[in-house]
Structure 1
Amino acid sequence: MTQNFLRCLMCRQFRTYFLLVIAMAFIFQSLLVFYLLAKVKDTEGPTEFGSSDSSRIQQAFVNEKEPSVLSNSACGILSKTALSAIKRATTKKCKEELSDIACRLKNNQLVPERLPNNCPRKDSVPGSSLGCFHDNNQSRLLSSYGVKLPGLTNQKCIDLCGQSAFLYAGTHNGKECYCGNKKPSLEHLLTKTYCSVPCDGQSSQTCGGVDATEIFDSGVPTRDSAKLQAPIVNGTAKIAFILTLNGRALRQVTRLLRVIYRPHHVYLIHVDARQDFLFRSLLQLELKYPNIRLSRKRQSSIWGGVSLLDVLLQSMEQLLEIDSQWQFVFNLSESDFPLRSIESLEALLAANPGRNFLKSHGRQTRQFIHKQGLDRVFHQCESRMWRVGDRNLPAGIRIDGGSDWVGLARSVVEFATAPSYSNDPLLRGLKELYRYTLLPAESFFHVLILNSKFCDSYADNNLRMTLWRRSQGCLCQHRHVVDWCGCSPMVFRTADWTHLTSVMAKSTVFFARKFEAAIDQSVMNRLEEQLTNTSLSYPGLDCYWESAYHRADLTPKPNKALLTVALSLAKHAISLLLQNSVAECPGLRPSRVVAITSYFRHDHYLGDLIHFEVDEKDVEFEALVKPLTKTIHLMKSPRILSTLQVGSDFDPKEQVFRNRLGVLSSRSKPIATFKWTGHINTTAASQLAHLVWFDPDDNVRAVHNVNVTDASKMGNQNLEIDHPLKPGVWLVAVIYNGKKIATTEFLIVPQAGDQSTQFEARISESQKVWEKYLPVDAKSAIYRREKALLMKKDISKFLDKMTAEYYAIQDICYKDQPPHCATIGFHDWQSCLSTDWSSFSQDPKSELL
């Protein structure tokens, strides 16, 4: 009986244990499925073991591949990255394109697996084995780069090292690949039996041994570039210039053209398809100068976009049709400026016929590939570069890249664009590859030249100079147009003059970038004086004008809020003009805004010129207006906060607002900028301040914590609200150590259609905590309530009242013809032609020659 009882008990225990095991297995499987579906991790490529500046190889793990999830695509399963892009795209056409590219990528139909290298190293046999050599972690023979490579084969390792221009490749212990440029000494040579570990990707092949590496010749040439010959005195060369332009900086463009223009050169201008003002303004140059052409094949040249390479290739093709004599082509932008005369450039080119001037990245190629995103697939649509997924670059070729500002010989241009070469395997394959590549112009020509018959013509010098400050230039300011973080050079300022001239003295440079007259025109004035060896002296030299709007523009679409404010300011300017007049001028009612132009003097923004028409025919006015600061500092001494401002279109690199008039609508994305002084108590318990955002109804809409310890830099904080902003007066309060130290107001301009918009009325949970920091005096509270009531009652009157409070009318004048009432007591009327901030057409720089 006892034995039967024990058997029963054991049976029950076994059944319980068995059920428990099944339950645990089911839970583990569920968690695993959930993990694979939820995890979002980008593949960073194979794990690296070392770098070019270290001889010791470090052990690392292989990165996991990007998870796949179910989708409605015909492919059945697409990556998380592809699905994100498809979801965020807004048009059906773009969604379909992204889906098709993701499917082709998944089916290995998007990227060529291998491309020919037509530039092998002399006296080498690509892929040949040098033998089996003793090798281990303590003393690597190939120490420049190492990686643990899943599916390793000897050819896979050779291709990887050849891609990075390493002369030798070595396989080790079946799974590891090493690259280097130093040929191994024969003293380390072993018999083949020591290299007997099967390759992870092909068991019939051996890939080194435990303490042995089989080393192969990659066959690629060394990194040496063609040396430049000294310039030929009075030497000449015919140059074709491609100007790829964006924005509205007409005066800066015409100034650049005036400095580089020579009758015997050729100039082709491509203006972004979205910039009608610049295209329309420059079109007249074709009538005056037969060697200047504007491209009619215009594209949207977004940062990092495939269209940038398309523009260059199309422009080069057009230049071949326009002129048969030019020998070199250089591309420039509106932010370039010459450092030396065009004649000195001709002298250098005459001494170096057939050379191609490109700048390499100057660091390890694998690092460049990852940081540049070359191992990712991108697609351009909706004026954005969408990231679709990961890819392997074609085997067999050397990868390089760097700057997209180049100088190319005519022979390379013909090879890249002429129909007779369109079936060349290397060229055709590279064009397929770069159709889905981020920043394609920064490496296409490098790779084409280094792997073709032109490889000996590569000069690692693009004759340019840029100003890099990585801490400011790499702030992901292009996220609105690309699924990637990239870096951009800084704008040269007068403070950079010593650095600029020192580089000029040491290096062979002919152009520099970036320059922007709206930020610092003085440095350009100094450069031109040095370039021409003359002292510049003409009216308006210390001034700069830049168009912000013109009624004739077809693109981009006009900013309705800006035009609403501009017309209200025009009414205010006329009312100020008439307030002391005894005469009546019923025809002086503003009817339409013609143009808005930003005005600078001595590198300071002085306001915008609003050019407008009135009801009286043949009379137009210009009013100079400037936004007023609405910031109040509440701590007298010592002041902790230096600056506080709210606007939009903030450039974190240059730390300026591009929306200079500061007009905000319900769809704007406000951003607060601030800078702390050196009077911060660094021993205080809290090093955080709070930015509290109040809407027109005094509701708390957001609270942000900001660090106050770094007083040397401008900080910024976006108002991150998904819903439209309620029109009216908003307020931002800065709280530090429980005290309100500053406030600023900003206006959300009411517009037609806002009445039907649903504005979020949700009150923050922290309302009671922060509402005590609203203005508490009766006068301020009454004033805020009056403004809110006026906006509900009469939007037009509210807007007129607010523009009078938020902007100052600096000056006003008539254009061309005086109004009829100017003869009846208006002795102070002025024509714009007599003022130093005069009309746009009067600046001497608007003429090319």
Structure 2
Amino acid sequence: MTLNFLRCLMCRQFRTYFLLVIAMAFIFQSLLVFYLLAKVKDTEGPTEFGSSDSSRIHQVLVKEKELGVLGKSTCGSLSKTALSAIKRATTKKCKEELSDVACKLKNNQLVPERLPNYCPRKGSISGSSLGCFHDNNQSRLLSSYGVKLPGLTIQKCVDLCTQSAFMYAGTHNGKECYCGNKKPSLEHLLTRTYCSVACDGQSSQTCGGVDSTEIFDSGVPTRESAKLRDPIINGTAKIAFILTLNGRALRQVTRLLRVIYRPHHVYLIHVDSRQDFLFRSLLQLELKYPNIRLTRKRQSSIWGGASLLDVLLQSMEQLLEVDSQWQFVFNLSESDFPLRSIESLEALLAANPGRNFLKSHGRQTRQFIHKQGLDRVFHQCESRMWRVGDRVLPAGIRIDGGSDWVGLARSVVEFVTSPTHRNDPLLRGLKELYRYTLLPAESFFHVLILNSKFCESYADNNLRMTLWRRSQGCLCQHRHVVDWCGCSPMVFRTTDWTHLTSVMAKSTVFFARKFEAAIDQSIMNRLEEQLTNSSLNYPGLDSYWESAYHRADLTPKTNHALLAVSLSLTKHAISLLLQNSVVECSGLRPSRIVSITSYFRHDHYLGDLIHFEVDENNVKFETLVKPLTKTTHFMNSPRILSTLQVGSDFDPKEQVLRNRLGVLSSTSKPVVIFKWTGHVNSTTAQLSHLIWFDPDDHVRAVHHVNLTDASKMNNQMLEIDTPLKPGVWLIAVVYDGKKIAMTEFLIVPQIADENLQFEEKMNELQKIWGNYLPVDAKSKNNRREKALLMKNDISTYLEKTTAEYYAIQDICYTGHPPQCATIQLHDWQSCSNTDWSSFSQDPKSKLS
């Protein structure tokens, strides 16, 4: 038997079969390699086959395994939306949280199916039939809203109309549901035989007929809100204010507090957990004012985040603990400002005890639900709201919402926060629902009040005014923190004064938003003059200072590029101070940056104040620096471009660059902003080109832009996959074949850049657009020398380069003068003698 087996091994048929198996295995392995390389290309962009392929394949295998585990986990395959969120999350903890939420959603464990409504319309029974009525497309009885519902049942239709706050629901032709608020006339009443078409979702029920609709009472009350009584003259009410603050606008916050502060009210301040400067600066208020508290339970209050509702609920609970007498609570932000005195607000509240002041979206509930993303599940982690999937809202309740700036009676706050009501089915269900809801504070209190025993206290007026310009405010500027597009109101400017005062004359409003002193402080000056019935004339009224950096900050993370540029500028400032000095001042070498403060006057940015220490003990200086424009307009080209500037953190709503000093690093996202003059010849081309050149004169990107409305600022971000190479970059603007303008910007080199990989290779764009680079020998030689210097000595490179990109406006010493300055005090100034120093004390900065 063994001999026969060995002979078989040698036979031709076996050898052929054996070789075929080996060939198929090799082909399968090759296909697997090419598949994995394709996955690499899909995730990392174009690549070349080489020695590093094995490591990239290993990375893809790890990612595939990770996504497979998270995607299927314990509940099978997840939706594309959930997988996208899991893939984009960067931490294991966040990935696991998203996977868990997605599984709960899939297993119907995340959203309550039905919630109770404790606010029925008097004399009505939800779901009771009014009868069968003649009805068709030409004369629809319930014309407010209609939809075809797969699996239609009577209860589904009633729930839908209840959710949208319609008083009546109608089923038609087995599959259609209609809603409205007008009770049908008896002249259209038919016998029930006309409504005999079986419901699509339950054959034992009938849902109207071909030309007939069975109409039901939803039990929802009318939309009328509680009428407000006129204010009581000299009436009083104790108010609790919750201030939810973000950013670094300390002076604007203290100004708001000063205007609304009264000793008999109570103030609770929540500062975003990422804003150490503002929290640290406001802590001193607790020592001076017993009715002002800063909460230590701080959260990341990102736009649209679930944490915003948590902050409000925790703050309300804390307010109940610190004071037992307040009657109403109002939430404000750093961008709010009062339109009327706090005493006038007290008079209104005294006349309307127990009222809840909220602003509704209007009457298009279905549209509101969709635009607000209420029918989607979101989860907050990594300071971002991740979209996980779609959901069906609980049945049985009315959905409403609008503004998250509210005024609530104490009774509602006690109900929401008290442990005795923790197991209330409505309250518990809504807290579960809004834990995974985008913009939860814009809807939670509305829904709770309208479906609870407090429904008759609902006043459809939150006593606020906002300025909306949808074309500018709805530009998805929050996509970096949320998987959704939302809208935000505009900042009030002096040009909006007429509109502001006209609304005040017609409406019951006490606060307005948004205000931002860094954009327009003058309108707040006018409002305060109107509030106090006096002319403001204190020092610093027309100036504004806002912190950009402080060495004591723990958060946010230190911007090392900003500090490197600032230190280079301080060296330049000291050298300018000493250039005419005959005294040796060896101790004036800058050693550490203390703070950086943006300075504005008459609503114009004038530069940043860099406060720094020198080697000499107890000596500090402050210098005012401002970025220089590096834009050149060519004389032989049409002047159709009025603005050309590069920076980062562009705000498309307010059309300003938030990174005012314009310091950019290898990881920055540069954006070029440009504005046309409006003098474009319509007979010529309407397309221009933005060409980005890196420090090696390589074309990195070309953007084709239309010559659009000259009244608006346009912007274009540079989006490339690799880090930006340090050095001087150029942008050329080409129109009708001619280079009409050019600007340059600096990517600040840092020691950490040595570990980054920069793209070196040329591309096809170079052949087409490379000839628009400056060709003169002086420019080329200058760029070559700078590149060599940066490679050998980054510190010296920065000192020389920043002097070309920034102007030293002025310099002064703070506190005691340097010892070497005693002979020349007439040449050196103290910061106390300047009108721009960030440390000049504003006598009006105190609260009372």
TM-score by length of 2: 0.91
Cα drift, residue 778 of structure 1:
1.9
The equivalent of 2:629 in structure 1 is 629
CA contact (8 A) 2:622 2:811 kept: yes
In 2, Cα distance between equivalents of 1:169 and 1:93: 46
1:566 matched residue in structure 2: 566
What secondary structure does 1:426 align onto?
helix
**1:674 and 2:682 are equivalent in the alignment:** no
The one-letter code matched in structure 1 to 2:203 is: S
Deviation at 1:846, TM superposition (A): 3.2
Q: Could you tell me whether the CA contact under 8 Å between 2:678 and 2:709 is conserved in 1?
A: no
Corresponding residue of 2:144: 144
Letter in 1 for 2:440: P
Q: Separation in 2 of the partners of 1:190 and 1:235?
A: 57
Q: Secondary structure at the match of 1:136?
A: coil
CA distance in 1, matches of 2:714, 2:363: 31
Asked if the contact 1:358–1:407 (Cα under 8 Å) also holds between the matched residues in 2, the reply is yes
For 1:645 and 1:265, the matched residues in 2 are separated by 47
1:628/1:807 contact within 8 Å kept: yes
Letter paired with 1:267? Y
Q: Deviations over 1:514-538 (max 9, x none)?
A: 0000000000000000000000011
Look up the match of 2:841: 842
CA contact (8 A) 2:361 2:403 kept: yes
Which residue number corresponds to residue 9 of structure 1?
none
Pairing 1:493-504 to 2, within 5 Å after superposition: 493-504=493-504
Q: Is contact 1:171–1:214 with CA below 8 Å preserved after alignment? A: yes
Matches within 5 A, 1:20-59: none
Partners of 1:681 and 1:475 lie apart in 2 by: 29
Query: Which secondary structure does the structure 1 equivalent of 2:757 belong to?
Result: coil
Deviation, 1:581, is 1.1
After alignment, is 217-226 or 768-777 more displaced? 768-777
Q: Does 1:233 align with 2:233?
A: yes
Q: Is 2:479 the counterpart of 1:483?
A: no
Give the whole-Å Cα distance in 1 for the aligned partners of 2:840 and 2:291.
24
Q: Is the 8 A contact 2:563 2:593 kept in 1?
A: yes
Determine the C-alpha separation between the residues in 1 that align with 2:824 and 2:817. Answer: 13
2:446 aligned with 1:446: yes
**Residue 636 of structure 1: how far off its partner (Å):** 6.0
User: Is 1:545 paired with 2:556?
Assistant: no
Matching residue of 2:806: 807
Partner Cα separation in structure 2 for residue 260 and residue 789 of structure 1: 58
- CA displacement 1:23-71 (0-9 Å, x = unmatched): xxxxxxxxxxxxxxxxxxxxxxxxxxxxxxxxxxxxxxxxxxxxx9993
- Cα drift, residue 825 of structure 1: 3.5
Q: Which residue of the partner structure matches residue 687 of structure 2?
A: 688
Determine the C-alpha separation between the residues in 2 that align with 1:546 and 1:312: 26
Distance 1:285 1:650 in 2: 33
Contact persistence 1:545–1:840 (CA under 8 A): no
1-structure distance, mates of 2:480, 2:344:
41
Distance 2:196 2:95 in 1: 50
- Give a deviation string over 1:640-688, Cα, whole Å, max 9, x none: 001000100000000001100000000000001000011111222x311
Name the CA shift for 1:762/1:781 in 2 (closer, same or farther; >3 Å).
same
Q: Do the aligned partners of residues 635 and 217 (structure 1) sit closer, same or farther apart at CA in structure 2, a change above 3 Å counting?
A: farther
> 1:844, 1:714 → 2: CA distance?
38
TM-fit CA distance, 1:842: 1.5
Aligned with 2:500: secondary structure? helix
For residues 258 and 334 of structure 1, what CA distance do their matches in structure 2 show? 12
Deviations 1:536-560 (A, max 9, x none): 0111111000000000111111101
Shift of 1:631: 0.5
Deviations 1:265-314 (A, max 9, x none): 00000000010100110000000000000001100000000000000000
Give the superposition deviation at 1:722: 1.5
Residue equivalent to 2:263: 263
- Contact 1:682/1:709 (<8 A) preserved: no
**Aligned length, in residue pairs:** 781
For residue 193 of structure 2, give the secondary structure of its aligned residue in structure 1.
Answer: helix
Per the TM alignment, residue 710 of structure 1 is displaced from its structure 2 partner at its CA by: 2.1
Tell me what 1:413 maps to. Answer: 413
Report what 1:101 is aligned to.
101
Q: Which amino acid aligns with 2:587?
A: G
**Counterpart position of 2:714:** 715
> Is the contact between residue 82 and residue 99 of structure 1 (CA under 8 Å) also seen in structure 2?
yes
CA contact 1:157–1:170 (8 Å) conserved in 2: yes
Equivalent positions of 1:189-228 (< 5 A) are 189-228=189-228
Aligned residue identity for 1:240: A
Within-5 A mapping of 1:579-728: 579-635=579-635, 638-684=638-684, 686-728=685-727
Whole-Å separation in 1 of the counterparts to 2:546 and 2:831: 17
Structure 2 contact 638–740 (Cα < 8 Å) conserved? no
CA contact (8 A) 2:492 2:520 kept: yes
Distance apart, 1:250 and its partner CA:
0.3
1:334 aligns with 2:327: no
SS class of match (2:824): coil
Q: Match for 1:229: what amino acid?
A: R
The answer to whether the aligner puts 1:388 opposite 2:388 as a matched pair is yes
Shift of 1:841: 5.2
Q: In the alignment, does 2:800 pair up with 1:797?
A: no
Matches within 5 A, 1:714-793: 714-793=713-792
Equivalent-residue separation in structure 2 for 1:558 and 1:256 (angstroms): 28
| d(CA) in 1 for partners of 2:74, 2:751 | 44
Q: Residue 776 of structure 2 aligns to which amino acid in structure 1? A: D
- The offset of 1:112, in angstroms, is 0.2
Within 2, Cα distance between the matches of 1:284 and 1:809? 34
Paired AA for residue 774 in structure 1: L
Unpaired segments ≥5 residues, structure 2:
1-67
Given the superposition, is the C-alpha separation of residues 343 and 636 from structure 1 closer, same or farther in structure 2, using an over 3 Å criterion? farther
Amino acid at match of 1:670: P
In 1, Cα distance between equivalents of 2:307 and 2:521: 30
Whole-angstrom distance in 2 between the partners of 1:71 and 1:95: 10
Matches of 2:683 and 2:344 in 1, distance apart?
58
What is the match of residue 472 of structure 1? 472
d(CA) in 1 for partners of 2:625, 2:453 = 60
Following superposition, the deviation at residue 200 of structure 1 comes to 1.1
Shift in Å at residue 826 of structure 1?
Answer: 4.8
Partner of 2:6: none
CA distance in 1, matches of 2:822, 2:113: 81
- What is the correspondence of 1:281-300 to structure 2 with a 5 Å cutoff? 281-300=281-300
Q: Who is 1:422 aligned against?
A: 422
Aligned residue for 2:761, secondary structure, equals coil
Amino acid in the other structure paired with 1:314:
Q
Could you tell me how far 1:193 is from its partner in structure 2? Answer: 1.2
State the SS of the aligned residue for 1:240.
strand
User: Match for 2:121: what amino acid?
Assistant: R
Contact residue 258 and residue 845 of structure 2 kept, 8 A: no
CA contact (8 A) 1:729 1:745 kept: yes
Give the secondary structure class of the aligned counterpart of 1:747: strand
Aligned to 2:823: 824
